[in-house]
Amino acid sequence: MIAARIGEGCDVTANYFEVFKRPNWHLMKYGVSFNPHIETMDERKAIVRQQGEKIGVYFFDGGKWLYCARRLPEVTVAVAIFICH
């Protein structure tokens, strides 16, 4: 329980995952941007998901950061995308 100075206290819960250290293993963090800008998180995640074979196992927060255990071969990846509304 976290005590507040004003008002009432509240319970706080956080999501987390534990990363175990392994020899010769690294967690890579990449900044991801979309040009033109993609408004919705679902569309950004779908675009990254389409690149799954190139990326391997990954976590993409849907905003800016992509984490993976493999060093990617290129910093910039151009992808043709067709979005139908």
Residue 65: what pLDDT?
A: 92
Q: What is the largest CA-CA distance in the chain?
A: 53
Residue 79: what pLDDT?
A: 60
Q: In total, how many domains does the chain have?
A: 1
Ordered per-residue pLDDT tens for the chain, 85 residues: 555 566 677 777 777 777 777 777 788 898 888 888 888 999 999 989 988 888 888 999 999 899 998 888 765 656 655 656 5
Does the residue 6 lie in any domain? no
Does the residue 72 lie in any domain? yes
Does the residue 55 lie in any domain? yes
What's the residue count for the chain? 85
CB 59 within 8 A of CB 67: yes
Residue 78: what pLDDT?
A: 61
Residue 3: what pLDDT?
A: 53
Residue 75: what pLDDT?
A: 58
Does the residue 54 lie in any domain? yes
The residue segments making up the domain with residue 59 are 20-85
